[in-house]
Amino acid sequence: MKTKLLLLALFAAAWLFAAGHSMGIPPVRAGKDRVASPDPDSSLGPIILRSQRSTSAALGDNIPMEEWKEMYCTRLRSRDASQLAVLWFHPGDGSGAFSQIDVSHNDHVAGMPKREPIIVDWAFVTESGIALGVHYNEVIKAKGRPTSNWSTNQNIVVKYEFSPAKWSHPAARFNMPDYAATYTFSQDSILTAFSFGFPYP
């Protein structure tokens, strides 16, 4: 009798394990690499992180740079003026090669440079379909479990961090030690801002 019960328990455990994998339930990892299946974005519209060629093709060769927050950046505005993208240039980056991209609705931040942003016709959408206005569930479905998350009275924030070299992923080609992406949602779970790329140490 005990042998039969043990066999039934083992069979049930094996079935649950297989069912979990068939439904795509990811394993939970610890620390920075807890994201089960990282799918980091590396482009916004035609601009690819750390790619001078893609930036030149999208914006031309004479890209205006501005000093802001003790770093240099280029700001882009959507044609309908509803969205702002900030392309951050880190020390050591090649000309026109940006390491981090921020996207938001906010075009009136204290200390922002006075120069008018470059107006572009293309949508501020990443290669995995992330754009302002998408629902929280869509981001989690596309990106997996976040490394960390928190909330305030106004926002819900989720963050992904990992080392590209530890994963068999195209992001490893950038040869950067760390990657981070942050998504900020309103209390009704709508994406209001996001950033991704390689943080400056």
**Where residue 45 falls among pLDDT bands split at 50, 70, 90?**
very high
Per-residue pLDDT, 98: 92
pLDDT at 27 over 70: no
Which of 141 and 70 is assigned the larger pLDDT?
141
Q: How far is CA 122 from CA 30, 56, 90, 102, 113, in A?
A: 38, 15, 24, 16, 23
Segment 82-99 shows an average pLDDT of: 88
pLDDT at 9 over 90: no
pLDDT at 173 over 90: no
**Where residue 94 falls among pLDDT bands split at 50, 70, 90?**
confident
pLDDT at 162 over 50: yes
Per-residue pLDDT, 174: 64
Residue environment code for 93-111, b if the CB has 16+ CB neighbours within 10 A, otherwise e: beebbbbbbbbbeeeeeee
Residue with tokens 């990811």: 26
Burial class (CB in 10 A: 0-12, 13-18, 19+), 86: buried
pLDDT at 11 over 60: no
pLDDT at 24 over 70: no
Weakest mean pLDDT among 11-20, 117-126, 141-150, 187-196? 11-20
**Where residue 194 falls among pLDDT bands split at 50, 70, 90?**
very high
Weakest mean pLDDT among 31-35, 52-56, 76-80, 137-141? 31-35
Per-residue pLDDT, 102: 95
Percent of the chain predicted with pLDDT > 90 = 43
Weakest mean pLDDT among 65-74, 96-105, 132-141, 166-175? 166-175
**Domain residue extents for the chain:** 31-197
Segment 94-119 shows an average pLDDT of: 81
Which of 173 and 70 is assigned the larger pLDDT?
70
- Per the document, the length of the chain is 201
